[in-house]
Amino acid sequence: MILGERIRLRRLEREDLPRCAAWLNDPQVRGHLALLYPMSLALEEQWFQQQLAAEPAAQPFAIDARAESVVSDSVDPAWTPVGVCGFHAVDWPHRLAELGLFIGHGDFRGAGYGTDVVRTLVRWAFRTLNLNRVQLRVFEDNAPAIRCYEKCGFRLEGRQRQSRFQDGRYLDTLMMAVLRDEWNG
């Protein structure tokens, strides 16, 4: 497992899939991802099967969080599964990877867990995988995500104008990245 401050990243298991499909059907999650259509368990299982064939560095992680700061009847005080993260692709010749994540458990959004996950993944990318650059894409209306990435050292590099059509309007996609020699984690 890869340990952060209040999170741990472990391999996603088949047993996680029903929970993941439910999260991906939550408008507060799916609205920020490049997902247009409702998710089914069958589609999620098909995606999971494809991930098993990916190279190890590009396989997804389940995010477990320690819940001490979250007060909710629905939360186990020990490790609680809260989301999924990982690198969509790793480009070894150029030593870069694209990061993605979601905190699906609503009680855990806006409490610093996403920042913990991004810091942990970036540290793993630079210190273990020996990558030089981590990049990501985020829609312009996702202020918490943009703030989270800025806190982790990501800089805005570009903007794909009107690249996303959502709720009857076009949104820009922001391109952000952090380089190893400017990262102070």
Residues in contact with ligand COA by the rule CB under 6 A: 29, 32-33, 101-103, 109-115, 138, 142-145, 147-148, 151
166 SS3 class: strand
Residue number with CB closer to ligand COA (43 or 112):
112
Which residue's CB is nearer to ligand COA, number 109 or number 180? 109
In whole angstroms, what is the distance from residue 99 CA to residue 177 CA? 9
Q: Would the CA dihedral through 11, 14, 20, 25 be positive or negative?
A: positive
CB 13, min distance to ligand COA, A: 20
User: Beta-strand (E) ranges in the chain?
Assistant: 2-3, 7-11, 61-66, 79-91, 96-103, 133-139, 155-166, 169-179
Q: Supply the minimum distance, in Å, between the C-beta of residue 171 and ligand COA.
A: 12
Sheet containing 155-166: order of strands: 2-3, 7-11, 61-66, 79-91, 96-103, 133-139, 169-179, 155-166
Residue of minimal Cβ distance to ligand COA: 114
In this complex, which beta carbon is closest to ligand COA, that of residue 34 or of residue 52?
Answer: 34
State the nearest-atom distance from the C-beta of 49 to ligand COA, in Å.
23
C-beta of 130 vs 166, nearer to ligand COA? 166
Find the shortest distance in angstroms from Cβ 56 to ligand COA. 23
